[in-house]
């Protein structure tokens, strides 16, 4: 029996977990920010390390009994430094948004101007949305994409020269093309701005040699660990240099970035780190350093391009006309659908995606024109080009018959048959 302690102590929670497992067994998850972690990551994440308080950093804790926690965190930091090719890594941020918040706190003062990609053109909440801390405590300006969906580097340059921001943020949650980190750094440094590269979506592709790295270009790099890296929910902050432990505050300069980052994470924003999460990150980073992971990252991109080509061949509209990473945006309005309606129809067919704005979207954000589609999770399950082409056909049929619940149910049965051949967690493949 799976989760026997839950079965005895809280069968209600166990039942819901098992139903979620069954949902994933029966369908295909294509949300780009989701993936399938390894059993080893799950073991670390559910370990006794969750019990321990460890405020501070290795060798400088505010609690006793951290000799083994120190070793775990040092292991995670060393693996992060090695994998990404940097000299400093902070592995304590609870997730991606707190990691970005720590960088703002470290490098900017409230009211400073920050320039980030608009959420509605593929950016993230923490890149300057007005209702987010990044838009509340900082003067945020947004650069955008061209009508075709490509980042408008010329427009970004003009905004930077006009407003001279304290920091420029690059990275995205819904952008299907590679980032020109060298050009972004040139723009930022030409106006004496810091460059923050948020690589949360593409970190696994970077370490898998499928996307250029921002190392050597960006002043600070942040990433979540649960997307293309296939780790637990958590985050990393990466930079070059070595932190110091002065008694007095240090100036906000490039030379002091490692110290500023560490102080921003703790005690600036967080208390005790989540040690079980740190251990699971260490496990994921070890896995990401293997040749097998490079093969995986390559297949993620191959699968995305295969899916994109198949959908275009069937007459669907893909923003930018293609993809160079793990995701794509589809404009569904030509089929008389909103993004929300497309999400519901595909969900009924057993395919999970999310509604999403497209660049220069004429519709409202909660009722957008597009859907966001990705291949990390299905690739982790072992699916390759033949399965991806079949999925494209399932998606096409579902969208063309989005009001026909009988047809959608038929597709769902076929999707479930395919899904069962590639279980997300084979070792958990037991009856509910």
Query: From the annotation, which residues make up the binding site for (6S)-5,6,7,8-tetrahydrofolate?
Result: 119, 123-125
Q: Rounded to the nearest 5 degrees, what angle is found at the Cα of 143, between the Cα atoms of 139 and 147?
A: 150
412 is catalytic: no
55 is catalytic: yes
Which one is catalytic: 198, 219, 262, 287?
198
Which residues participate in the annotated binding site? 119, 123-125
Q: Quick check: bond before 267 cis, omega within 30?
A: yes
Residue 354 contacts residue 342 (beta carbons within 8 Å): no
Which one is catalytic: 25, 26, 52, 55?
55
Q: Which DSSP string do the residues of 325-380 spell out, in sequence order? A: SSEEEEE-GGGT--HHHHHHHHHHTTEE-EEE--TT-SS-TTS-SEEEEE-HHHHH
Which one is catalytic: 224, 259, 323, 379?
224
DSSP3 helix / strand / coil % (the chain, rounded to 5): 50, 15, 40
Residue 354 bridge partners (DSSP): 372
407 is catalytic: no
User: CA-based Rg of the chain, rounded to a whole angstrom?
Assistant: 22
233 is catalytic: yes
CA distance linking residue 215 with residue 335, whole number of Å: 42
60 is catalytic: no
198 is catalytic: yes
CA distance linking residue 195 with residue 218, whole number of Å: 5
Query: Could you give the 3-state DSSP secondary structure of residue 224?
Result: strand
Residue 97 contacts residue 135 (beta carbons within 8 Å): no
Which one is catalytic: 26, 52, 53, 425?
53
154 CB-near residues (< 8 Å, 6+ apart)? none
Burial 23-48 (b: 16+ CB within 10 A, else e): ebbebbbbbbbbbbbbeebbebbeee
CA distance linking residue 211 with residue 170, whole number of Å: 15
Residue 210 contacts residue 301 (beta carbons within 8 Å): yes
Query: Could you give the 3-state DSSP secondary structure of residue 89?
Result: strand
The catalytic site residues sit at 53, 55, 198, 224, 227, 233
């Amino acid at each position: 029996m799976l989760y026997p302690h839950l079965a005895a102590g809280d069968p209600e929670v166990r039942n819901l977990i098992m139903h979620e497992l069954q949902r994933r067994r029966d369908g295909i998850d294509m949300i780009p920010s989701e993936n399938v972690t390894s059993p080893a990551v799950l073991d670390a994440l559910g370990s006794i390390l969750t019990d321990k308080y460890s405020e501070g950093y290795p060798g400088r804790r505010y609690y006793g009994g951290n000799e083994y926690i120190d070793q775990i965190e040092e292991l995670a930091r060393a693996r992060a430094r090695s994998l990404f090719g940097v000299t400093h890594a902070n592995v304590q941020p609870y997730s991606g948004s707190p990691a970005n918040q720590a960088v703002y706190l470290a490098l900017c003062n409230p009211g400073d101007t920050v320039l980030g990609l608009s959420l509605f053109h593929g950016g993230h909440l923490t890149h300057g949305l007005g209702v987010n801390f990044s838009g509340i405590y900082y003067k945020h300006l947004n650069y955008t994409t061209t009508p075709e969906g490509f980042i408008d580097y010329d427009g970004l340059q003009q905004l930077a020269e006009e407003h001279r921001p304290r920091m420029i943020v690059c990275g995205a949650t819904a952008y299907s093309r590679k980032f020109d980190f060298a050009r972004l750094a040139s723009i930022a440094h030409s106006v004496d701005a810091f460059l923050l590269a948020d690589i949360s979506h593409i970190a696994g592709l970077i370490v898998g040699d499928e996307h250029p790295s921002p190392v050597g270009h960006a002043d600070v790099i942040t990433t979540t660990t649960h997307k293309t890296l296939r780790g637990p929910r958590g985050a990393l902050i990466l930079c070059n240099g070595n932190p110091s432990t002065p008694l007095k505050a240090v100036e906000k300069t490039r030379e002091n970035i490692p110290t500023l980052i560490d102080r921003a994470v703790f005690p600036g924003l967080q208390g005790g780190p989540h040690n079980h999460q740190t251990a699971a990150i260490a496990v994921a980073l070890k896995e990401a350093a293997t040749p097998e992971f490079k093969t995986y990252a390559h297949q993620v991109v191959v699968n995305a391009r295969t899916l994109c080509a198949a959908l275009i061949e069937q007459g669907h509209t893909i923003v930018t006309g293609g993809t160079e990473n793990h995701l794509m945006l589809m404009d569904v309005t030509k089929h008389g659908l909103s993004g929300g309606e497309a999400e519901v129809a595909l969900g009924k067919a057993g395919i999970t995606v999310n509604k999403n704005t497209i660049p220069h979207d004429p519709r409202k954000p909660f009722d957008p024109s597009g859907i966001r589609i990705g291949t990390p999770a299905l690739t982790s399950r072992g699916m390759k080009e033949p399965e991806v082409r079949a999925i494209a056909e399932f998606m096409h049929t579902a969208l063309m018959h989005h009001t026909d619940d009988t047809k959608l149910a038929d597709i769902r049965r076929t999707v479930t048959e395919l899904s069962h051949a590639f279980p997300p967690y084979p070792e958990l493949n037991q009856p509910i």
